[in-house]
């Protein structure tokens, strides 16, 4: 039986920072990252073999930080997975605090954390912004590699339509089997706005959404997510979005832009 249960990972997150808010999709993503390591170690018969394998698999300099001292195979695997999960949670905690002044850790935060750490990137290759997801709509499921902003745009548009009482097809985005909450992106918009305001910066994009006020966001991927969701759901996005504004840093004014 795998050691990588939600309880195992949640306990490690709490040991790093009791106030850390870890989404279930984050647990699913970290489990997917660590599972190949657990499977490789379980194929070895004893601690010396496991230790020798890690000597070759880990980047130089990581030995002392991650390699356990346990004498029994199960304890060795447990300690190694604990050390690696702790490393990921510690780096993610620092990232969300310094970047967003936040306690919430979502899968894309972990991905960004890995991307900016040379050693972690050797362990878990990939780009900075995108994660593999499954999108289910009209009883069909599609695999995509998408950014947080794109996922946020898709689910925000879906959420707004549901709030308006529209009868639409169910739409679910899952990360390694765990569905994203429809409202997960609200935290990003809220904390992104705080991040910008404390530094005297304005979000480069602003959109007025019928019945839901004005949203400010940091990536055109977000808008593309809304456009994509509208196409999938057979809805005219121009009925819901009345205006798109872009901040012109030279003039210091918001400028209307078509899309």
pLDDT tens for each residue of 127-175: 988 999 999 998 889 999 999 889 988 998 888 888 888 767 889 999 9
- The predicted model gives 241-252 an average pLDDT of 82
Q: How confident is the model at residue 194 (pLDDT cuts 50, 70, 90)?
A: very low
Is position 108 within any domain? yes
Same domain, 147 and 245: yes
What's the pTM? 0.88
* CA distances for 112 relative to 88, 159, 172, 246, angstroms: 11, 26, 23, 26
- Going by DSSP bridges, is the β-strand pair 140-147/171-175 parallel, antiparallel, or unpaired? unpaired
Same domain, 87 and 180: no
**What tens digit of pLDDT does each residue of 81-123 get?**
999 999 999 999 999 998 877 888 999 999 999 999 988 999 9
Q: H or E element: which one contains 240?
A: helix 237-240
Q: H or E element: which one contains 138?
A: none
Is position 29 within any domain? yes
Same domain, 104 and 176: no
Q: Is the pLDDT of residue 232 over 80?
A: yes
Q: Is the pLDDT of residue 6 over 70?
A: yes
Same domain, 77 and 143: no
What pLDDT does residue 205 have? 83
Residues ≥6 apart with Cβ < 8 Å to 256: 243, 244, 245
Same domain, 137 and 90: no
Q: What is the mean pLDDT of the chain?
A: 87
Structural domain span for residue 59: 6-123
Is position 35 within any domain? yes
Is position 161 within any domain? yes
What pLDDT does residue 189 have? 53
Contact 169, 138 (CB under 8 A): yes
Residues ≥6 apart with Cβ < 8 Å to 64: none
CA atoms of 38 and 3, how far apart (whole Å): 8
What pLDDT does residue 176 have? 96
DSSP code string of 29-51: HHHHHHHHHHHHHHTS-SHHHHH
Helix (H, G, I), strand (E, B) or coil at 219: coil
Same domain, 252 and 134: yes
Same domain, 83 and 186: no
Q: Could you give the number of structural domains in the chain?
A: 2
CATH number of domain containing 71 = 1.10.20.10
Last residue of a domain, one of 123, 141, 176: 123
Q: Is the pLDDT of residue 31 over 50?
A: yes
Contact 220, 228 (CB under 8 A): no
Same domain, 73 and 172: no
Distance from chain centroid for Cα 39: 24
Distance from chain centroid for Cα 122: 19
Give the chain's count of helices (H) and strands (E): 11, 10
CA atoms of 107 and 22, how far apart (whole Å): 9
Same domain, 178 and 252: yes
CA atoms of 19 and 205, how far apart (whole Å): 31
Is position 234 within any domain? yes
Is position 1 within any domain? no
Last residue of a domain, one of 86, 108, 123: 123
What pLDDT does residue 210 have? 78
What pLDDT does residue 201 have? 44
Same domain, 148 and 250: yes
Same domain, 152 and 252: yes
Same domain, 135 and 113: no
């Amino acid at each position: 039986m795998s050691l990588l249960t939600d309880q195992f990972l949640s306990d490690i997150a709490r040991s790093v920072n009791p106030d850390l808010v870890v989404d279930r999709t984050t647990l699913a993503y970290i489990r997917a990252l660590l599972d190949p390591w657990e499977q490789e170690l379980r194929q070895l018969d004893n601690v010396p073999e496991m230790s020798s394998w890690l000597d070759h698999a880990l980047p130089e300099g990581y030995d002392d930080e991650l390699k356990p001292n346990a004498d029994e195979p199960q304890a060795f695997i447990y300690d190694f997975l604990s050390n690696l999960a702790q490393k990921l949670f510690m780096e993610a905690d620092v990232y969300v605090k310094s970047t967003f002044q936040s306690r919430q850790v979502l899968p894309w935060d972990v991905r960004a954390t890995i991307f900016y750490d040379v050693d972690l990137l050797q362990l878990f290759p990939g780009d900075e912004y995108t994660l593999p997801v499954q999108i289910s709509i009209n009883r069909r499921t599609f695999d995509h590699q998408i950014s947080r902003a794109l996922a946020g745009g898709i689910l925000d548009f879906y959420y707004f339509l549901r709030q308006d009482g529209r009868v639409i097809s169910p739409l679910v985005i899952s990360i390694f089997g765990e569905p994203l909450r429809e409202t997960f992106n609200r935290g990003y918009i809220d904390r992104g706005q705080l991040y910008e305001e404390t530094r005297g910066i304005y979000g480069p994009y602003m959109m007025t959404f019928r019945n839901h006020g004005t949203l400010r966001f940091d990536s055109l991927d977000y808008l593309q997510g809304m456009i994509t969701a509208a196409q999938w759901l057979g809805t005219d996005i121009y009925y819901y979005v009345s205006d798109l504004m872009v901040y012109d840093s030279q003039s210091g004014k918001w400028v209307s832009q078509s899309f």
